[in-house]
Amino acid sequence: MARIGVAFYGGLAPGEIVDCVKMAEELGYESAWMAEGHGGDQFAVLAACALATQRILLGTSISSVFVRSVPTIAMAAATVDHLSQRRFILGLGSSHKVQVEPEHGLPYGQPVQRVRDSVVIIRTLLRDGVVSYQGKTVTIERFDLWFRPIRQEIPIYLGALFPKMLEVCGEIAQGAILVWSTLETVAQAVAHITEGARRAGRRPEEVDLAALLPCSVAASQQEAFDVLRPVVAFYAGFFPRYHRLIAAQGFPEAAQAIRAAWGKGDQAGAARAVPDALIAAVAVAGTPAECRERIEAYRSSGIALPIIFPVLRSAGPAGKQDMIDALRACAP
């Protein structure tokens, strides 16, 4: 059966997510992933999913190394791994300064090194039950676990967009999670992961390459594009890192127009500035047949684990139905 995952980032209540993850398991999805952001506590939701399912893998996509203490992340990961009976994957990332500082009131800096330090601390704590660590961004005088993890090593995937973090994935991670990637940029990502792996004496094949794919299933491709347009505008307009990524992927003029409108507070104008070609390049959008064809194209480009994250048109029952429709349309 072809590998495929599904991600949830908001719009559904916790119980609705659990229902959808149960359906995803029944449909043959390999994994279900929970974002952090504003959509509810990811570890709590995944713990509920763990108790309601038996086979599907459960992961964070991603957990920010800035908004929780590193030992807290390790304990949360060990807890969900225990409740799921070894089905948990810890997806870590650096998040964004525009979120961490104004939304959480926490300092942000040296994101790549912070990820490195966090991985060392988490792995040491899970393996040894205690950690003392003095790093460049995090110092832990001493922290010990008061329970024994069911696994002393949990797979760690890292969210990565640019060369430095992609090479870190190759050096230290079990997986890399791409976001807003085009078919053409996958090969570049693989090259950087390979460089990092070889530098660390690892085989590139040891790094599972996953991609979060924004997804909209509709009666026509144009309708699906229109659902995704404001989401692309938000990412390109609000997040400097995604603005840079989209510009580098062949859409510099669109990225600039989106950011200019967003900076003026014109979110509708930012959405209008998103061309169809940009959506087609970075998303899975269209009829069920078109979405399946697009997922296969990502597989052919080098993505081992495509992860759809359906964009919901609204909250409540209608949003849940959007998720159900996407799950059925893209099922293996």
pLDDT of residue 272: 98
Q: What is the pLDDT of residues 19-65, one digit of tens each?
A: 999 999 999 999 999 998 888 999 999 999 999 999 999 999 999 99
All residues at 6 or more sequence positions from 119 whose CB lies less than 8 Å from its CB, including other chains? 92, 156, 158, 172, 173
Identity of residue 56? I
pLDDT of residue 316: 78
All residues at 6 or more sequence positions from 235 whose CB lies less than 8 Å from its CB, including other chains? 180, 242, 246
Which residues, in sequence order, are bridge partners of residue 64?
A: 93
pLDDT of residue 314: 81
Q: What is the pLDDT of residues 238-247, one digit of tens each?
A: 999 999 999 9
Q: What is the pLDDT of residues 93-123, one digit of tens each?
A: 999 999 999 999 999 999 999 999 999 999 9
Q: Which strand (E) or helix (H) includes residue 285? A: strand 284-286
pLDDT of residue 37: 85
pLDDT of residue 103: 94
Q: Domain extents for the chain?
A: 5-218+290-330, 221-286
pLDDT of residue 317: 84
| Calculated CA dihedral for residues 265, 268, 272, 278, nearest 10 degrees | 80
Strands 88-93 and 130-134: unpaired
Whole-angstrom Cα distance, residue 217 to residue 69?
A: 38
Phi, psi of 54 (to 5 degrees): -130, -30
pLDDT of residue 81: 98
> Band of the pLDDT at 315, cuts 50, 70, 90?
confident
Shortest CA distance to 157 belongs to which of 90, 73, 57, 63? Answer: 90
Kindly report the average pLDDT of the chain as a whole number.
Answer: 97
Whether the model pTM is above 0.85:
yes
Q: What is the pLDDT of residues 2-13, one digit of tens each?
A: 999 999 998 899
Identity of residue 152? Q
Q: What is the pLDDT of residues 133-174, one digit of tens each?
A: 999 999 999 999 999 999 999 999 999 999 999 999 999 999
What is the CATH code of the structural domain delimited by 5-218+290-330? 3.20.20.30
> Band of the pLDDT at 228, cuts 50, 70, 90?
very high
